[in-house]
């Protein structure tokens, strides 16, 4: 019993340390590459302060940790088992009568704990943090000094009446900072008398557009005066604020909801006759498969214990690289496949785990046949 206690403490300390390091490295890379790039685009488009940008970036951390945790488990298990094989620790433990299954027990316990932690983070931390990040994004847009854009260079918006009928259409061909170019405003409140406003230049500030050197065209059904035009030197208008609409009236994104709330949102959409998007179904499925991947990846490391010769270390490294690269690559690809309706979202979420099962089964067969 003393040997078991010493071994377990040693295993937990080493494995947890390596797993934490293995999770932190890819999480940091994602946070300061992919997420930072996306947040910097907000700074560019919305002009939000740097401190707001940094806080929005930090709020992405729980979601990134959950995404990278299977990779951290893999890196920790691979490094620890490779060290035990190289130092002949597994052989020594077996000589003391400890079976390989018992040696591997701490790895399973940590993997189950990591999966449980992943579920807790997904249910409580991720929705709250991403919801706060989304609100900060929209509030930053409300305080912007340039138009909220659909793309990088253009703006398209409209205003509706109380019944939802379009009354005004706003189009901007391009902008640079707060400067607008080739702005077109269409007033269709009265279908028999459409007003078209065109201006070559303008600027956006304090939630208003100021247009210069433009023309107003009135197109009517009157056969005598079917077309009228007038010129203006300066005109100020209030454009539609799409960010306020998003903040007040939009349906929540799936990542802002915990699992129970997401299932309730599914029922609500069904009752309203609205479709449940592939991304929403994928998000729900990944809340199961991401924690499952922690356990599957840990079990995939068991064949390393069968390679009791230190000279086989190169095979272990190649095997681990295949699993690590294959898992994250397929996770990314499967998301695109689900979004484009190539495969069902549920299958797309499960594909990375199926890949690990396939690779580990093949590697186990090779190890038993050639190296053991």
Q: Which residue would you say has higher pLDDT here, 357 or 252? A: 357
The string of pLDDT tens digits covering residues 326-343 is: 999 999 899 989 988 899
Rounded Cα gap, residues 24 and 68, in angstroms: 8
Residues near 211 by beta carbon (within 8 Å), at least 6 away in sequence: 180, 183, 197, 199, 201, 202, 232, 234, 235, 236, 237
> Which letter does DSSP use for residue 301 in this model?
T
Helix (H) or strand (E) holding 198: strand 193-205
Q: How large a percentage of the chain has pLDDT more than 70?
A: 78
pLDDT at position 257 over 50: yes
State how far the alpha carbon of 177 is from the alpha carbons of 45, 169, 255, 351, in Å.
Answer: 8, 22, 31, 44
CB 338 within 8 A of CB 151: no
Q: Which of 139-153, 225-239, 319-333 has the lowest mean pLDDT?
A: 139-153
Provide the residue ranges of all domains of the chain, joining segments of one domain with +: 2-143+255-371, 155-240
Quick one: pLDDT at residue 43? Answer: 58
Q: What is the largest CA-CA distance in the chain?
A: 106
Q: Which of 53-62, 150-159, 288-297, 320-329 has the lowest mean pLDDT?
A: 150-159
Confidence of residue 244 (pLDDT cuts 50, 70, 90): very low
* Chain centroid offset of residue 21 CA: 22
The string of pLDDT tens digits covering residues 162-207 is: 777 888 888 887 766 567 888 888 888 887 788 888 998 888 765 6
The reply to whether the predicted model has a pTM over 0.75 is: no
């Amino acid at each position: 019993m003393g040997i078991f206690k010493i071994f377990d403490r040693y295993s937990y300390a080493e494995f947890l340390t390596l797993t934490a390091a293995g999770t932190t490295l890819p999480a940091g890379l994602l946070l300061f590459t992919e997420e930072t790039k996306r947040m910097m685009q907000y700074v560019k488009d919305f002009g939000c302060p740097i401190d707001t940008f940094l806080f929005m970036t930090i709020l992405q951390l729980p979601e990134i940790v959950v995404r990278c945790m299977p990779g951290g488990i893999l890196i920790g298990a691979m490094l620890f088992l490779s060290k035990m094989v190289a130092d002949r620790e597994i052989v020594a433990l077996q000589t003391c009568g400890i079976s390989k299954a018992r040696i591997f027990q701490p790895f399973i316990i940590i993997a189950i704990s990591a999966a449980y932690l992943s579920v807790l983070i997904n249910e409580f931390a991720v929705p709250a943090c991403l919801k706060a990040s989304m609100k900060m994004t929209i509030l930053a847009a409300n305080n912007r000094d340039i138009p909220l854009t659909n793309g990088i260079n253009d703006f398209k918006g409209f205003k509706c009446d109380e019944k939802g009928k379009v009354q005004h259409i706003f189009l901007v061909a391009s902008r640079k900072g707060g400067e607008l170019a080739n702005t077109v405003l269409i007033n269709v409140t009265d279908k028999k008398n459409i007003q078209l406003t065109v201006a070559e230049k303008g600027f956006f500030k304090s939630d208003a557009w100021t247009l210069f050197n433009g023309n107003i065209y009135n197109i009517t059904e009157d056969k005598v005066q079917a077309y009228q035009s007038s010129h203006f030197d300066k005109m100020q208008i209030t454009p539609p604020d799409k960010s306020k609409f998003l903040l007040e009236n939009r349906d929540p994104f799936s990542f802002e909801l915990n699992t129970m709330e997401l299932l309730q949102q599914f029922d609500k959409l069904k009752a309203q006759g609205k479709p449940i998007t592939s991304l929403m179904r994928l998000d729900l499925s990944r809340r199961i498969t991401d924690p499952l991947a922690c356990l599957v990846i840990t079990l995939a490391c068991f064949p390393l214990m069968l390679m009791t010769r230190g000279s086989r270390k190169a095979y272990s490294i190649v095997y681990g690289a295949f699993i690590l690269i294959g898992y994250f690559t397929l996770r990314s690809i499967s998301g695109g496949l689900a979004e484009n309706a190539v495969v069902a979202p549920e299958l797309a979420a499960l594909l990375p785990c199926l890949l690990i099962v396939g690779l580990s089964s093949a590697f186990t067969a090779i190890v038993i046949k050639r190296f053991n």
